[in-house]
Amino acid sequence: MTFIQVEFLAFLAVVFTVYWALGRRLWQNIFLVVASAVFYGWVHPWFLILLYVSAIVDYFGALGMERWPHRKGLVLLVSIGTNTAILGYYKYFDFFVVNVAAALDALGVHNSLQPLGILLPPGISFYTFQSMAYSIDVYRGELRPRKHVLDYMLAVSLFPHLVAGPVQRASNLLLQAETRRTFDLAMVRSGFALAMWGAFKKVVVADTVSPYVDKIFGLREPAAPMIWAATLGFAVQILADFSGYTDVARGVARMLGFELMENFKNPYLATNPSEFWRRWHVSFSSWIRDYLFIPLGGSRGGLWATTRATFGAMLISGLWHGASWNFVIWGGYHAALITGYRLVTPLIPASLRKGPLGRPGAVVIMFFFTCLGWLLFRETDGAALWGHLTRSPLGVTDDQWVATVTMLSITAAAATPLVLGLLVQRYLIPRIEGSAGYLPLQTTVWAAFAASMFFFGRMSAMDFIYFQF
């Protein structure tokens, strides 16, 4: 089940009603664990086994670390090993097999290695990382292991954040699971508004621009301006898609009294690579920082040590996003950006950096580099990627310019609501929030969002096949 299906609306309505009607925390927690199991197991019930295996191993592992502190290193190893084994098998096994087979072929060693076509369980990258974070926090002494398995299971499997994040820290969700939650209309309204905005971004913005992007990337040799226009479109698409999903997750969680961490903070307004990762997928990048970058040495050592830690963390970060070399290259690219920024920044005159055009210029330059990274992210075919990067911008036909302008027009139209939303949230809402007219305006906007989602929603995958550019 996904957030933009009709079934989810019915599911949420039932869960919301029963949850708040139950009143007591114990019954609420039980109910949410069951509801989360229903949500996650809706399409493939056996995926629940993986989720619970991961959770149970870490639950008992944490208890084991407390009971046998002299063995806690080994226990941590078991926890991390189990989670990475689950993740490695379901997400990366076929990738591994394909690459080994290719390497053997290149060496002239005939082999019959074939990928298994393993189905990827939804959310596996998220909940395994969350579980590992719990074990690591317990190991470090930053968190006490939980005795109440119910609260723990709720923190791991709470359905709003289960399949698309944000990657929650155990400390955040565990405390909330163990705390009584009372009904607050303002909180529910705020959560509903956030969820509606997230769904709008996903259905109206992202799903409108994505067929155009796919169409251009599907060409054998798209002209250079076309591919850059499509990359710009993809930048809008992925922000709207991903931030939309997490806004729905946060909004729904808030309606149930849980606060999930903010995951996107206007990332395209970043002025440098490090700031970008403090604004983009914040929950994940902070996880990488705390559990990979810092253990690898962080920035405590010299330049070489820091660079090594940066590349190590970002390459794994890239691989986490998908089982394909282009994601690894994308991670390495961002590592190079971060490292390069560290090296280059001292060379830029302070007067330039701090002048009136300093920040806007930095935003534009960083956005350019971000889009270049999205090209690496989007294109999974190495030969095609090389072609995109090396294709001459000259000799573009008139027809190709038409396609370019079409892509740019659709991107501009799709991005307009995002920009307006940012401006409204920053400048308008604070002014009118307490006024009498705010509520009717808000509900009318919700109705407009719903109408827009009905208008733009695509009922089936075949809509994309029959789409006309």
Partner 1 sequence: MKHAGVRVVAALAAVVGPLLVVVSLAAVLTRPEDAVERALAPAAKELDKRIAHGADVVLLGNSKVGTDLDPDTIAELFATPARVVPMHVKGTGMPVWYTVLRERVYAGGHAPRLVVVYATALMMAQTSLPTAAQRAQLDQQVGAPDPVLDHKVRGEAFADPRIQVALRRRGAWRQALTDGIRDLGVGLALAPAGEGGARERGRAYAAPALARVFDGDANQRAPQRRVVPVVEAEVADADGAVRLHDTLIPDLVALAYAHGAQVLFVRSPMPDGRREEDTVPAAFEDELIAWLASVGAGYVDLRDADLAASHYGGVHLSRAGRARLAPQLNAALRSVGVGTGRLVPAAPPARRVALTGVRAGTPPALPALELRDLPPPCVWQAPVRGLAGLSDAWLVEADLGEVSPVRVLQDGRPLTPHARVGGQACEGTTDFGLGGVRISPTDPDAATRDTFTLELDPAVPMRGGTGGEAWWVYPGTELTVTVPAGTVTGARRLRVQAIATEGGTGGELSILGGEAAPLRAVGSTVEAVVTAPATAGEWTFTVRSPVGGPWLVLRRVVTGTEAEPVRLIGPPDVAVTVDLTRDATFAAPPPGLVSPEAAPAPTRTADLYAWNVAHLGVPSLPEVFDQAGMGCSPLELLAGGTPAREQLGDDRKPLARLLHAGDVARISVRPGEVPVAGQYALRLEPTRRCKESLWLYPGDEVRLQATPAQLAALAGGATTLELGANAFRGTGTLHLRLEADGVAPIEQAVPLSSLPLGPIVLDGVVGPDAASAVLTLRLESDDAYVLFTSVVLAEPVRPALGANP
Binding to partner 1 (CB under 8 A): which residues in 278-297? 281
CB of 124 to partner 1, least distance (A): 7
**Closest to 221 measured CA to CA, from 403, 46, 354:** 403
Binding to partner 1 (CB under 8 A): which residues in 428-447? 436-437, 439-444, 446-447
Q: Does 353 bind partner 1 (CB under 8 A)?
A: no
CB of 231 to partner 1, least distance (A): 12
CB of 110 to partner 1, least distance (A): 8
Q: Which is nearer to partner 1, 127 or 369 (CB)?
A: 127
Binding to partner 1 (CB under 8 A): which residues in 167-196? none
Q: Does 395 bind partner 1 (CB under 8 A)?
A: yes
Give residues with Cβ within 8 angstroms of 254, minimum separation 6: 187, 188, 190, 191, 194, 260
CA distance to 166, 167, 192, 261, 341, per residue, from 287 (Å): 11, 8, 27, 12, 22
According to CB under 8 A, which one of 60, 401, 421, 424 is a site residue for partner 1?
401
In our burial notation (b when 16+ CB lie closer than 10 A, e otherwise), range 50-79 reads bbbebbbbbbbbbbbbeeeeeebeebbebb
Q: Does 413 bind partner 1 (CB under 8 A)?
A: yes
Q: Does 349 bind partner 1 (CB under 8 A)?
A: no
Please, what's the largest Cα pairwise distance for the chain?
76
Binding to partner 1 (CB under 8 A): which residues in 304-333? 321-322, 327
Binding to partner 1 (CB under 8 A): which residues in 46-85? 47
Before 430, cis peptide (omega within 30)? Answer: no
Q: Does 468 bind partner 1 (CB under 8 A)?
A: yes
CB of 202 to partner 1, least distance (A): 9
Q: Is 433 exposed, middle or buried (0-12, 13-18, 19+ CB in 10 A)?
A: exposed
Give residues with Cβ within 8 angstroms of 23, minimum separation 6: none
8 Å CB contact between 261 and 168: yes
8 Å CB contact between 35 and 15: yes
The span of 138-146, 308-316, 403-411, 426-434 binding partner 1 (CB under 8 A) equals 403-411
According to CB under 8 A, which one of 210, 283, 307, 370 is a site residue for partner 1?
210
According to CB under 8 A, which one of 89, 294, 400, 424 is a site residue for partner 1?
400
**Closest to 31 measured CA to CA, from 291, 217, 257, 322:** 257
CB of 29 to partner 1, least distance (A): 23
Q: Does 389 bind partner 1 (CB under 8 A)?
A: no
Instruction: Report, as residue numbers or ranges, the catalytic residues.
Output: 321
Q: Which is nearer to partner 1, 122 or 145 (CB)?
A: 122
Q: Is 192 left (phi over 0), alpha (psi -120 to 50) or beta?
A: alpha
Q: Does 378 bind partner 1 (CB under 8 A)?
A: yes
Could you tell me the two tokens for 31?
Answer: 């109910």
Q: Does 276 bind partner 1 (CB under 8 A)?
A: no
In our burial notation (b when 16+ CB lie closer than 10 A, e otherwise), range 107-124 reads eeeeeeeeeeeeeebbbb
Binding to partner 1 (CB under 8 A): which residues in 112-141? 112, 119-126
Binding to partner 1 (CB under 8 A): which residues in 240-269? 241-242, 245
Tell me the number of residues near partner 1 by CB under 8 A: 83
